Structure 1
Amino acid sequence: MIVREKPGILSIFFVVSASGGSILPRIFPQLFLVIALSALIVLAHRDFPTLVPVVSSAPFALIGIALSIFLGFRNNACYDRWWEARKLWGALLIAGRTLGRQTLILEGRGDGRGAALRARIVGFAIAFVYALRLHLRPGDGEGRVLERLDEADRRLYRASRNPPDFVLRRIVAELAAARGEGLLSDIEFTMIEATIEAMASVQGSCERIRSTPLPFAYTLLLHRTAYVFCFMLPFGFADQLGWLAPLAAGMVAYTFFGLDILGDELEEPFGDLPNDLPIAAIADTIAINLREALGETDLPPLPQPVKGVLM
């Protein structure tokens, strides 16, 4: 996720890097092609008007309005996915902190067994957060999960088809054992188990977003329409704008292609592009909060943006 101050009126035109918030690097080939094609059409029409005719610009205005509305609807749908995912990880942060507070009731119970049980439960919660991050955005970092598990759990974790769910099952198993030993009452068990259920709900909802993209036919229709419109646009303005037609076509292409690419990024909020969610940073924040709840003092600093990007 891009985290930076809003650029000023002068610098806003010079932001060209992806980390700075610009989508120009991703659409530059298409943009260059539209401008070059527009220049060729204007040149060919001036020299060979009968071979390269122009058409009325009125249909382009109507199609442009319809395409703009269509792009708006799609980007709203993509942003809804992005924002829902962000709310889910916010709920996970709250659930993690709640679990750290709820398990305080175990301290002082069972001649030290309660404190050891609390440390295991909170450790499993940290492992779950990192396992969920890897589940949604594969990459490095499995060591942060494995360091919270014993050897037997590590084997089961690696063999599981759904590692985050395995970790949650281990937490509930620890809670059930604690209830059987009398370390937790039925009410206390139900209270903590409800927090674990909230964490499982976050996982299931994130999996739904990841595995259910927008209908491909919807995206394909928009891609085709945007490309055809931008490539045909110079034929409607070669006479009226002359050599300004490539500039006008480039501005329209920048807007349409940019919105299209931005929608693609927001559609997959758990990816690793600059506009995707900082789930790794949120996972680190939850882990730090839980470690602090256990009384640890040697804690790393909270995640900070790197070159304006927080991932």
Structure 2
Amino acid sequence: MITRPPLHWFRMLFVLRGSVLPKIAPQLITITLFAALITTFHGRIGDWKVSLNFVPFSLIGLTLAIFLGFRNSTSYARFWEGRTLWGSVLNEARSLTRQALTLGADPRDARQLAYRLCAFVHALRHQLRGSDAWPDVAPFLDQADAARLKAARFNPAIALLMAGEWVGERLRAGQLAPPLAQSMEMSLNQLSTALGGCERLAGTPIPFTYSVIIHRCIYLYCMLLPFGLLDSIGLMTPVIVCFIAYTFFALEALSAEIEEPFGEEPNDLALAAMSYMIESTVLEMIGEAPKSAAPAHRDFIQT
């Protein structure tokens, strides 16, 4: 995820990093060249003059705008839900660590809980991205926990189970008061809810048919547009077609990018930076420095 301080309006016109222009440039160039070719031949395909005006394009453009608006709203809702879920992970990890430190019988025992919470966070990130969690998880686990987690299929769920076992063991040993254990269990339930929500987003994309309909309509619209504009604006047809095509292609590409908020595209959620921040704040509470290296080009993250 790329976040920046506000840029000058002129610099904003030429920003490439974080924009979708590099991704859509081939299609945009193709459509513009096609429009230039149509303009050169005055809208003729052989001996046939394609006679169109702007009226049907106004109607179709309105329909496309509605479809694109729905698609972008849905994609952004998924993106924001993912960010909200990770914000709740941060809040509950802090709450659990604070309660273990301030209300437990021995604050030194909070170290194991904090480590298991850090393991949960890193395991969750890697599960969502389909990558190997072991290098980031191993520093937080003893030999027994490491063997147990390594054999598991769903690492975040097992890490969360181990955090719950910590609470249960202290409750049975009389080191946690029952009301405190109940409060901590509520935080663990919130982490479980966040885990399930992230898995739901990662495993349930927007129905493919929406993407197909919008994609086909956009390309057909942009391919036919030069014929409708040529008689009205003449040599400016390729320029206007390029501008309109950029609008449609960019919105489609952006919605496809943020539809899967846990990916590694420039505009996806900065899971590495968020995991590092959660680890840093939890370990700082127990008086330790982060064990993971700070992500390169770390983003500015707010809850």
Within-5 A mapping of 1:1-311: 1-15=1-15, 17=16, 19=17, 21-45=18-42, 50-105=47-102, 109=105, 114-139=106-131, 142-296=134-288, 298-299=289-290, 306=297
- 1:240–1:49 distance in 2 versus 1, CA, 3 Å: farther
Tell me how far 1:185 sits from its aligned partner. Answer: 2.4
- 1:238–1:139 distance in 2 versus 1, CA, 3 Å: same
**Secondary structure in 1 aligned to 2:48?**
coil
* Root-mean-square deviation over aligned CA pairs: 2.3
Aligned AA for 1:2?
I
Tell me how far 1:308 sits from its aligned partner. Answer: 7.2
Unmatched segments (≥5 aa) in structure 1: none
**Secondary structure in 2 aligned to 1:10?**
helix
Aligned residues: 301
Tell me how far 1:204 sits from its aligned partner. Answer: 0.5
Unmatched segments (≥5 aa) in structure 2: none
**Secondary structure in 1 aligned to 2:131?**
coil
When the two structures are superposed, what TM-score results if normalisation uses the length of structure 1?
0.90
CA contact (8 A) 1:85 1:269 kept: yes
- 1:209–1:78 distance in 2 versus 1, CA, 3 Å: same
**Secondary structure in 1 aligned to 2:56?**
helix
Tell me how far 1:12 sits from its aligned partner. Answer: 2.2
* Residues 99-138 of structure 1 deviation map (CA, whole Å, 9 limit, x = unaligned): 111102465x3xxxx3453211111001101111111123
**Secondary structure in 2 aligned to 1:264?**
helix
Tell me how far 1:303 sits from its aligned partner. Answer: 5.7
- 1:32–1:309 distance in 2 versus 1, CA, 3 Å: farther
Measured in 2, the distance between the counterparts of 1:12 and 1:121 equals 45
- 1:215–1:192 distance in 2 versus 1, CA, 3 Å: same
CA contact (8 A) 1:54 1:237 kept: no
- 1:289–1:47 distance in 2 versus 1, CA, 3 Å: closer
Percent identity, please. 36
Measured in 1, the distance between the counterparts of 2:112 and 2:231 equals 74
**Secondary structure in 1 aligned to 2:170?**
helix
Measured in 1, the distance between the counterparts of 2:268 and 2:61 equals 28
Measured in 2, the distance between the counterparts of 1:146 and 1:32 equals 48
Measured in 2, the distance between the counterparts of 1:117 and 1:308 equals 32
- 1:23–1:137 distance in 2 versus 1, CA, 3 Å: same
- 1:46–1:197 distance in 2 versus 1, CA, 3 Å: closer
Measured in 2, the distance between the counterparts of 1:141 and 1:305 equals 18
Measured in 1, the distance between the counterparts of 2:45 and 2:84 equals 58
Tell me how far 1:49 sits from its aligned partner. Answer: 7.7
When the two structures are superposed, what TM-score results if normalisation uses the length of structure 2?
0.92
- 1:307–1:144 distance in 2 versus 1, CA, 3 Å: closer
Tell me how far 1:171 sits from its aligned partner. Answer: 1.2
- 1:48–1:262 distance in 2 versus 1, CA, 3 Å: closer
Measured in 1, the distance between the counterparts of 2:244 and 2:273 equals 36
